[in-house]
Structure 1
Amino acid sequence: MLCEICLNIFRGSCPVEYTQHHDSIESLQRSALEDCEICRTLWNDPFCYSSQPSSEHVQISTETIVKEFHDGTGTRQVHVEANSHEYTREFVFICELAGEDHKNSDAHKPPASDWAASMACARTWLAKCTETHTDCQASGFKSMTYCPTRLLEIDQPEANKLRLRLCSELDDAPPQYVTLSHCWGTSKTLRLTSHSYQRFRDGVNVSELAKTFQDAVFAAKSLGIKLLWIDSFCIFQDSKEDWQHEAALMSQVYRHSFLNIAASIAVDSDAGCFRERVSTAERSLVQTTWTDYPNGTYYLYYDHYWVDNFASMPLKKRAWVVQELALAPRVLHLCGSQLFWECHGLDACETWPIGPPPNMWVDHGKLRSRSASIEVFGFHRTGYNESVHISTHENDRFNTDTFRELWKHIVSDYNMCDLTFPSDKLVALSGIAKHMEQLLKIDYWAGLWAFDLIPELIWTIREPSIPKPEADTIVYRAPSWSWACMDGEVDWIAWRGQFLVDIVCCDIRTATADRTGAVISAALQLSGWLATIEIRLNSKRWDIYLNGRWTSWGGANIHLDRPLASSHLHCLPLEDHGLLNILLLTPTGVARGQFQRVGIAMVGIEAFGLEDCDQLAHVTNESWLEYQSISDDGKCTITIV
């Protein structure tokens, strides 16, 4: 629905220049609370009005303009510009012409409180997925080849109970089961422990479970599925050994599930997902009555509707869920106001049951769109025991550039998510890493890939989170040369040039036999031209001391991982692409020639006072240069930990 002020946009003279909309924050708030779609979108914007603690004192005005959308379909855009003394933002609403079939599809909406009717919509998605999606059928075939160690049997030993079963006890093995992705939170709920084991074996009442788990049982039953895997009930929570064993199987559990239920809206186990709704998810239908512009019946929607109503769910902030959503063949998201669906063949929600309209921003380029990520990597295009060969040929579907792009999106999304235990940094991504490692037959080194290691070392963290200096708060989780030692959005330098270092060896010790899991220590030995360097920031320009001279180098691009304890550093050029990509290192003081990474730099060879990279062996260094050994060509062997 729209308020009278918003309806006026579509009446009389069409606003082809910016015209007055709401003239006060009180007027905007009133319309938003009355459920006007345009005003509610503005009011709920996290950087806008409702989030401001003193919003009643913020003077705002909004203006509108209608623009032609030049795609030949008669689509229009309504641009709403919100202005305050400290904030300006433009919101874009799409007016898409509605055909008669679309108008009729909205004629019979179920009651808002009827979540059973919503689950009927989910059954339709599931049926279409399993019956008509070729890629999803291929994934479904794989789901029949594995059985988790333990599963929960719904309505056993009697109705409204849940019983823990071992895989070996099930009549149909491997069985069809669903998994649950959820936020743990801090709530103290019933979990599987050595003390509660027999209780689960005998059967617990569903009503004894936390609300989020009750909703997961309801969703599974509504889809006609009787077996459910939930980590807190299928892994012993008081056994480190069982947790390590089962954590190593996560890729199998989620890859071979029939469906993953995502408790996307629930911030913890008690929050629940099927909430009371004021109205069902509807599309706003607008009939224009302009006197000076072509009229029609339009669907009106915010172009970032998908992102605002789905991509920002609480569950998406949980690091563990990245691999769960990526590996599952299909996902049903419980989002509080409506259901969302993702599989290889369809992204949909109750508002848009056959998929988002073409002009809606869904962000298919990132892992948030599972279908896109799996399509790029081709998880579903190989047989169960087949592998994919990585090639550098530009026409090969699985070339290194394709792989790099996917891994970049996975890591960037993952590294911005939250972990309760920092030591889980590599463990919570090991499911995806393990699947890639097995599928592509490549080695995984603490978050990086051996075949592509040198360019992968040139990562940066946007707005890095600096650990607290107290020793008892710092938990080792990865070597300094891996992005996994830090938090924040990861980016890699896109250039690929001539490599200037050689990999001597990499010694990685893991906590268990799982080579993709938790790392205890990791030492990377490289051979290359090493130089002493000092850097200092001078009026937003970097001063660099290299090869016996200071250079004021405005073009130097330097990214530090953390504040420096000393300006005396070592630099190791990794590759030359016109500029040099360089690792910045500091000695550990534990052993000669052992370093930690403290950042990267991109500088021209002229910063060294040289003409080309062949002269790097002749750089004049300070007396504090150290290394493990040096070859006849001037290359130093060092170890980075």
Structure 2
Amino acid sequence: MFCDVCLGVLQRHENRQIERQSEQRTMSFGHHRNRSDLMLAAESGCYVCVVVWRTVSELPPAFLYTEKMEEELIRHGCKQDTLPNEDILVNLGDNCYTHAELCRHRSRSDYFELRIRYGQWNLHRTTRTPGEQVLVGQFSLSRLAASDATGDLGLSGSGASQDTLSEQALQHAERWLKNCCDSHATCSDEKTMADMWYPTRLLYIDSAKDERYRVRLIHTAQERPTGNYFTLSHTWGRLQFKQLTRDTILEFTRGIPLSDLPTTFYEAIFVTKRLGVQHLWIDSLCIMQDKDDLSDWSHEASLMHKVYSHSHCNISASVSVDGSQGLSRKRDPAKLYRPRVSLNMDGFDTDVDGEYLNHELSDNWLWENRVTGNHLNKRGWVFQERLLAPRILHFSHDQVFWECRETRACEVYPGGHHSLRRADCPIAKFKSYFRGGTLTELSTSHSATDLEPYNKEDYHNLWRRMVESYSSTQLTNPLDKLVALSGVAKVVSTFLGATYVAGMWRETLAEDLCWSNPVHVTTETTWSYSSLYRAPTWSWASTDYSVVFLRAQDTRFTLDVKDVCVQYGTNDTTGLVAGGWIDVAGPLGPITLSLKKGQDNLPGHVLWRIDIDKTCTEPQPDFIVMLNVRTSDSRRFEHDNVAGRLFFMPCATRRGMGSNFGMNALVLRVVEPDGGIFERVGMAYALRVGGLGDGQNPRVPTDVDEEIKARLPCLRYENGIHTIRII
């Protein structure tokens, strides 16, 4: 169903505000007038407003246009004419809480998008085009054939299940699994019994005549399994439960009382058996958990890429915060449907202008909201599990979702849907390359005929996108930062023949070093540096925050990587790191750091900026700094500034308008001046660095006198280039 406001947009074109010409024909409308109206519409069951309210209610209070835009500027780089300034925006004065855009696809007259935005409507003063707002809902409208144009589709009706662990839900899972194994060329992996790989230990599920399950632990080297095995992804939480240890291993091999197992484990056993499989792998029951002896854990952690990639299917307890909450969720099937609406075609310049045609509306964010955004999929270890598992059953809030290399589906869209494929691009792309435990040289991204040629640069870019996604996940133990991604690193390293160095690749270090933490610092942000060493400061793995990498397009990476050394905590070169350094060469210059207030419309926000040494010969560009570790304490760098310990080394440039360049640079603190040893403090960026220099490269803003250059701390200095070591 739809509320009257949404029907006013879709059918009556009410409260129309602005229209603009672009590749798509777009109409803009006022939507709900205030927060209360939106909330009431969501509570009444409006399909659109339920999604919008869920997003709006989770927005940070100070989330404004300029904050979003500045993050994008840092992430992607920016043309000079898109740089915000203080007076470019003017408010129209309308009092709508949300706004709607109805857009026709540029080449398909049968496909529309409905976008809902939150915030005040703005116009650029010069171009009179709509400014950016916060997108809080995006929906597809696909035209229906006349024969399909009546009634909503979904789970409602006689026999509709009230539970995500019902027989109806598991029948969907059974069909997805069978169809994937029988007909998906990209998912099939024919193996003989001799080819089958099994984890060190598995749970064997047997059923007695009374249909109760008997579960025991087997050692696969001694008791060779037959057939496939499932795995379970779950959150441990704070729940105390019986685990595999020296004291319990004998008991587990004889049989595990089901009453001793958390609800999630019991229900995962039920699903495994129901889908015709007799073996299940659960970390806490198949890996020794003794705190005083981590040898088994370390060995098994190095095999995680095999455990998940060789599994038949992974069961994901997506919304449970611990084992007591299980897979099952109660639901109202009447709310699970595919809504249809008669769309007003007037004004869209189509061959049916002025008519009303039936369309099916779908939520483009369904996958993000119900799979990616779930509690479990925000966990660091699960990120890798999801990448490597060939098939996954996600038990979500109100329905079961299916994910394999070729299809994403759910109970509402059992045959799949285009809106489900649009999300999680790095994960979806990796899974399309990953087959039979290894990467392939051809991608079948969404169909068996959509082939992409193998390109090493594509894989390195894909790795960076995956790290960006992974860096925003959470880890209980910060020391697991690299360990929890080591399985994926092994797969990529084997395929590319590349050398893995603390989360990066030796062959592309000049690009990989250009990461940053582009999140605003507020006056409440305090310095919080992890006391647990897990990576050198030049690695993204050294920070607790989400990171982004510079996009390579139109970017020239200028660092010359001379040498690199990493000391490992174990024999696994993709796991724990005990130390490391990198030698890089480039022009070095002295700086100081200062804290300044953000824009007037970002109350409470502050920015760290670079003050280039006053002996510089060129005008000072405006460099904003993204610190490895966030802080709003203006005294944090006082001592370093006075002692002259802060420096700047350009690492990337982008050609801008006219003679201007965009520039990124490493911000460094010297820790051993005599040895030329530094640590990375952050990344700086400037959108305008003037001067063409030699005609190809910009003049370096740190271009101080030759006498000063020669005295700067370094390993070597020659012809304006300093070689330094970063630890």
TM-score normalised to the size of structure 1? 0.83
After superposition, residues 200-215 of structure 1 pair within 5 angstroms as 200-215=252-267
Deviation of 1:248 (Å): 0.7
Helix, strand or coil for the counterpart of 2:319?
coil
The aligned amino acid for 2:258 is V
Q: Distance in 1 between matches of 2:527 and 2:112?
A: 55
Q: Distance in 1 between matches of 2:415 and 2:34?
A: 38
After superposition, residues 174-573 of structure 1 pair within 5 angstroms as 175-238=227-290, 239-279=293-333, 282-286=336-340, 288=342, 293-357=354-418, 362-367=422-427, 370=428, 372-375=429-432, 378-380=433-435, 397-463=453-519, 474-495=531-552, 496-497=555-556, 499-504=558-563, 506-536=564-594, 542-545=610-613, 548-549=615-616, 552-556=619-623, 558-562=625-629, 564=637, 565-567=639-641, 568=644, 569-573=646-650
Counterpart contact for 1:608–1:619, Cα < 8 Å: no
Counterpart contact for 1:69–1:77, Cα < 8 Å: yes
Deviation of 1:147 (Å): 1.0
Counterpart contact for 1:68–1:76, Cα < 8 Å: yes
Q: Distance in 2 between matches of 1:65 and 1:185?
A: 42
Count of residue pairs brought into register by the alignment = 616
Deviation of 1:287 (Å): 5.5
The aligned amino acid for 1:282 is L
Q: Distance in 2 between matches of 1:356 and 1:157?
A: 40
Any unmatched runs of 5+ in structure 1? 53-58, 390-394
The aligned amino acid for 2:726 is I
Deviation of 1:413 (Å): 0.7
The CA deviation string for residues 410-447 of structure 1, in whole angstroms up to 9 with x for no partner, is 10111111111111111111111111111221110001
Deviation of 1:157 (Å): 8.1
1:625 is aligned to 712
The aligned amino acid for 1:582 is A
1:587 aligns with 2:670: yes
Counterpart contact for 1:283–1:299, Cα < 8 Å: no
The CA deviation string for residues 461-487 of structure 1, in whole angstroms up to 9 with x for no partner, is 12289997688x511010001011012
The aligned amino acid for 1:17 is R
Q: Distance in 2 between matches of 1:9 and 1:599?
A: 47
Any unmatched runs of 5+ in structure 2? 18-28, 63-94, 123-132, 347-353, 443-450, 598-606, 630-635, 656-660
Q: CA RMSD in A?
A: 4.2
Q: Distance in 2 between matches of 1:500 and 1:50?
A: 37
Helix, strand or coil for the counterpart of 1:638?
strand
1:112 aligns with 2:111: no
Q: How has the CA–CA distance of structure 1 residues 442 and 161 changed in structure 2, closer, same or farther, with 3 Å as cutoff?
A: same
Q: Distance in 1 between matches of 2:231 and 2:98?
A: 45
Q: Distance in 2 between matches of 1:129 and 1:283?
A: 24
The aligned amino acid for 2:708 is N
The aligned amino acid for 2:214 is K
Deviation of 1:399 (Å): 2.8
Q: How has the CA–CA distance of structure 1 residues 613 and 37 changed in structure 2, closer, same or farther, with 3 Å as cutoff?
A: closer
Counterpart contact for 1:387–1:441, Cα < 8 Å: no
Counterpart contact for 1:42–1:48, Cα < 8 Å: no
Counterpart contact for 1:532–1:571, Cα < 8 Å: yes
Q: Distance in 2 between matches of 1:83 and 1:613?
A: 39
Q: Distance in 2 between matches of 1:385 and 1:67?
A: 41
Q: Distance in 2 between matches of 1:304 and 1:386?
A: 28
Q: How has the CA–CA distance of structure 1 residues 51 and 96 changed in structure 2, closer, same or farther, with 3 Å as cutoff?
A: farther
The CA deviation string for residues 262-306 of structure 1, in whole angstroms up to 9 with x for no partner, is 111112222222111122663244364979853344323333233
The CA deviation string for residues 112-162 of structure 1, in whole angstroms up to 9 with x for no partner, is 236221011011111111111111013878995311000011136883232
Counterpart contact for 1:317–1:417, Cα < 8 Å: yes
Q: How has the CA–CA distance of structure 1 residues 330 and 66 changed in structure 2, closer, same or farther, with 3 Å as cutoff?
A: same
Q: How has the CA–CA distance of structure 1 residues 14 and 109 changed in structure 2, closer, same or farther, with 3 Å as cutoff?
A: farther
Q: Distance in 1 between matches of 2:513 and 2:98?
A: 47
More displaced, 287-296 or 528-537? 287-296
1:155 aligns with one of 187, 199, 206: 206
Counterpart contact for 2:149–2:358, Cα < 8 Å: no
Counterpart contact for 2:692–2:698, Cα < 8 Å: no
Q: Distance in 1 between matches of 2:439 and 2:119?
A: 57
Q: Distance in 2 between matches of 1:388 and 1:206?
A: 45
Q: Distance in 2 between matches of 1:543 and 1:289?
A: 56
Q: Distance in 1 between matches of 2:53 and 2:664?
A: 45
The CA deviation string for residues 37-65 of structure 1, in whole angstroms up to 9 with x for no partner, is 2342233234369999xxxxxx9866778
The aligned amino acid for 1:596 is E
Counterpart contact for 1:112–1:279, Cα < 8 Å: yes
Q: Distance in 2 between matches of 1:457 and 1:22?
A: 45
Deviation of 1:329 (Å): 1.0
Helix, strand or coil for the counterpart of 2:484?
helix
Q: Distance in 1 between matches of 2:281 and 2:466?
A: 24
1:96 is aligned to 142
Counterpart contact for 1:305–1:361, Cα < 8 Å: no
Q: Distance in 2 between matches of 1:303 and 1:423?
A: 36
Counterpart contact for 1:412–1:491, Cα < 8 Å: yes
More displaced, 159-168 or 529-538? 529-538
Q: How has the CA–CA distance of structure 1 residues 269 and 608 changed in structure 2, closer, same or farther, with 3 Å as cutoff?
A: farther
1:40 aligns with 2:50: yes
Counterpart contact for 2:409–2:417, Cα < 8 Å: yes
Q: Distance in 1 between matches of 2:148 and 2:705?
A: 76
Counterpart contact for 2:408–2:421, Cα < 8 Å: no
Q: Distance in 1 between matches of 2:178 and 2:15?
A: 45
Helix, strand or coil for the counterpart of 2:356?
coil
Helix, strand or coil for the counterpart of 2:474?
coil
Q: Distance in 2 between matches of 1:582 and 1:336?
A: 44
Counterpart contact for 2:2–2:45, Cα < 8 Å: yes
Q: Distance in 1 between matches of 2:38 and 2:221?
A: 61
The alignment-based identity, stated in percent, is 28
